Structure formats: C-alpha cells, structure tokens
Copies of this chain bind each other. A is one copy, B any other.
Amino acid sequence: MIKIFNTYSRSLEVFEPHLPGHVTMYVCGPTVYDVAHLGHARTYVAFDAVIRFLEFMGYRVKYARNVTDVGHLRETGEDRMIVGAERLRKHPMEVADKYMMEFFRDMDALGIRRPDIQPRASMHIPEIIEAVEKLVDKGYGYVIDGSVYFDISKFTDYGKLSNIKPEELLMHRIDPDPRKKNPADFALWKESPPSYPFSWKTPWGRGFPGWHIECSIMSMKYLGEQIDIHGGGQELIFPHHENEIAQSEALTGKKPFVKYWMHTGELTVGGRGMHKSYGNFITIQDALKTYPSDVLRLFILSAHYRTPLDYSEKAMEQAAENFEKLINFFENLSLIAEEGRPKPRDPSLDELSNVFKQSFVEAMSEDFNTPNALATVYDFIKKVNTRLDVIGHEQATHLRQLFLETCRALGLLQKIERRSSAAEVMEFVKMLVEVRRELRKRGMYDLADRIRSMLAERGIMLEDTKEGERIRIVR
C-alpha cells in the first residue's frame, strides 16, 4: 500500500490510480532558454525515484514531461525564449534546440528514466487554438483585442489547489491589463507585436499561447482527461497548476483533472535560493564535473522530496562518502562472487536480506521517503560487512543482486557494470599479487611488502589467509 501526500488535500492518501496497475504521470518540464540547474536536477531526480519505485512495485507508468519552447513569460512580460535568443543572437527555436539537447543530455547523465513522451509546446499550437476557442464558446474565455483571458470568476473552485484567497490573488497577477474582468484573470492567448518571432494566426489575430494552457493541452492529449499524478516544483502550485486545473476542468465539463498533485521542495545553495546575481547558480553540467551523477543523486535523495534541500560542499562530501560505501560494498561482494569461494549458506544473512527488503519497501511506500529508504540500505551494508569473511561466492552473488535491485529502485548504481576500468585494472593487480606470492616463496619479503604497500596506497588491500590472498577495496 503506497501513500502519497496530495497537495490538493494537504494529506497522505492511499494511492489508487484510475486503472489498477497503471499510472499516468505528468511532470512539468523545463523552459529551454538556458542551461538546466540544480533545481531541475532535484525535481526530476525526485520524480525519477517515484517512477522507479512504482515500477519496482509492478506498476506500468506512462510518463510525460513537456518541453516549453514558447509562451512562458517572465514576470516582466518578456518571453523567456526571446530573452535567450537575444542573449545568444540566435533564432529562438535554435536556442530551444540547443538547450533542449543539453537538457536531454543532463537528464541522461543523471540517469533519469526517459519519459515515454516529451511533447514540445510548439508542436501543439493548432490544438491550443482550438481549446481556447472552445473556452471562449463556453463562456470561460473572453477576448480583449488579440488576447484571450480566462475569467476566474466563472470557475467556482478557482484557488482550490493553492488555497490562495482572492485578496492574495492580486499580488500575483502578471498581466496588469486594466480591461480584464478580474485582476487575476490570466492569459490563454497573447496578441503578438508585428514581426514577433512567435506568431500564429487565430480568429483573434496573430499571437502565441499562454504557458498554462500549453500544459493543460499536452497532458490531456497524451494521458487523457484524468491523470493520476501531476507534479512539479512547489513554485508551480500557483499560478501554473491552479490555472491548469481551471482550464482543463472547464474544457472537460469539470471532470477532476488530476488525482494526486505532488510538489518538490526548494533547492537552496548555501542557504538561499539559487540566483545568478547571488553567485550561487550551479548548473547540472558544472555539478557533474565535480561529482559523479550517483553522488548528486544520493545528495538529492538524502532529503525527502517535499522538504527544502541545501546544497553545500559539506553535504556533497557526505554524499560522496555514502557513494564510496555503496561502491566498496558492491566491489567487495563482486570479488567474493568471482573468487569462487564455496562456503555453507548462512541463514542469518537470508533473514537479514528479507528484513532489508521489507523495510526498504515500507520506507518508500510512505510518500517515497528516500532518506529512510537509504538508511535501510546503509544499515544492510553495515551488517553484511561484518560478515564478509564467512560469505561464500553463491550467497555473495545473491546479496549483490538484491543490493543492486534495491539501489536501482532509487536509480542508483545504474552504470556500475560500465566501470570497465576496474576489471582491466584488476588484471594487472592480479599480476602484482602473483609476483608477490612468488617473491614470498623465495623469501624476498622486502620486495613483497613493497608491492603490498604500493597497492595499499591505491586503496587495494591484500590480506593473506589460509585460502590465499584476499583482495579488498577500500578506496
């Protein structure tokens, strides 16, 4: 039984998707006018863990994450894509392509499962125009010159997601057109100035779509009128998601648009929100130059997705240390597994494995509590580590398998098989071990010890046992 904290009800609810065993999920994607930063990493890694855990539990997840390449305005009213285009002196769609490709690469580099569909806003202009026409026909939309606004007073539940009160709404209005019926009415469609690079023909003249209607149309086109999970950063609750609900439910005749709303907490750097002017703006690419993606992921999952998360060197060092714990555990189990060391099965380890798996699932089932889930992993490692000497190769293989499957339900250690260097290096390590053995036979202990300490300097420990040398990696 999985429970999800639903922003809509502000409470934990038992997860029951519309179609048993199947999950439809939409997460608002980036506006591709600049490189993706740690805030994006946090949101998409957090939802990646959600998806992977659902799949681990046997659900089939249909996941859509859009790419916004038009219509997402700044509070000052400029289209972000055009801001990017002016900065790079390129066509806005060239800017979109550049950052979309970099975003895809960043997501791949972070090991994030690819969405089943990644709709681009500009692919849906005709559908959006049709939807705006329909909203006007139904009386929810009204035209002022070439722009179309959504009349929030017509949608009685307006504000039900964010719980924002009418007087607060005034503080949030982006578009100060005094002719609007209600100050907080938002744009479905905007008239464009002449020779504007984004401009499509409509019954109201030439213009471009509003950001909110894009997500309503794209999510419903690919996932249906009623979606199981819709997510994003918490800053999207209002106005973006509030407006999505209003538009979508106005279009479908008040069918509940989304069953579970999920929102990720803020990522801060050095205690404050990331901002270029604060000098604490960190891109995913930069972070990945310093840390392997698993370290970044461990850092992100070390906090529950709804809580704030602060990026600091100290926090990253902690994550790097935890990563070493995982890797060493994996490598040491691999060494035993490959060594061919027959030992009787230790039933207490089977028991330990069962307890581990169960407590991991319990932690994740409680609103995807990744810090608790990771704690069960570390505990498992600690307990198995005390028994590495008594484990035979068969049981080591099983433990490694369980460990990997569990890590991968969090998206960790996906690429470990590709650490081919380790295997290649190990060949040469084994040569050194062989030479050392021969040296010891011949009584040349000084040179044998030198080999041992050269290896130790590189984190490769040799222990002489009755059964021969045991190699253990402590890097």
Which residues does A use to contact B, with CB under 8 Å?
A: 90-91, 93-94, 97-98, 101, 104-105, 108, 114-120, 122-123, 125-126, 130, 200-201, 222, 420-421, 424-425, 427-429, 431-432, 435, 438-439, 442, 444, 447, 450-451, 454-455, 458
Contact = CB atoms under 8 A, between A and B. Distances in A.
Contact of A117 (B94, B104, B122, B442): B94
11 contacts: A91-B117, A93-B123, A93-B222, A97-B115, A101-B104, A421-B421, A421-B424, A421-B425, A428-B428, A431-B451, A438-B447
Which A-B residue pairs are the 5 nearest by beta carbons? A428-B428, A421-B421, A122-B123, A94-B117, A126-B200
A276 to B, nearest CB: 25
Nearest to A439: B447
Contacts of A442: 444
Given A93-B117, A438-B447, 14 more contacts: A90-B116, A97-B115, A101-B104, A101-B114, A105-B108, A120-B120, A120-B123, A126-B200, A424-B424, A425-B428, A428-B432, A431-B455, A435-B435, A439-B447
B458 A427 contact: yes
A443 B211 CA distance: 79
A426 to B, nearest CB: 9
A126 B117 CA distance: 22
Contacts of A425: 421, 424-425, 428
A90 B116 CA distance: 10
Contacts of A97: 115-119
B451 A435 contact: yes
Contacts of A118: 97, 101
A94 B24 CA distance: 14
Contacts of A119: 93, 97
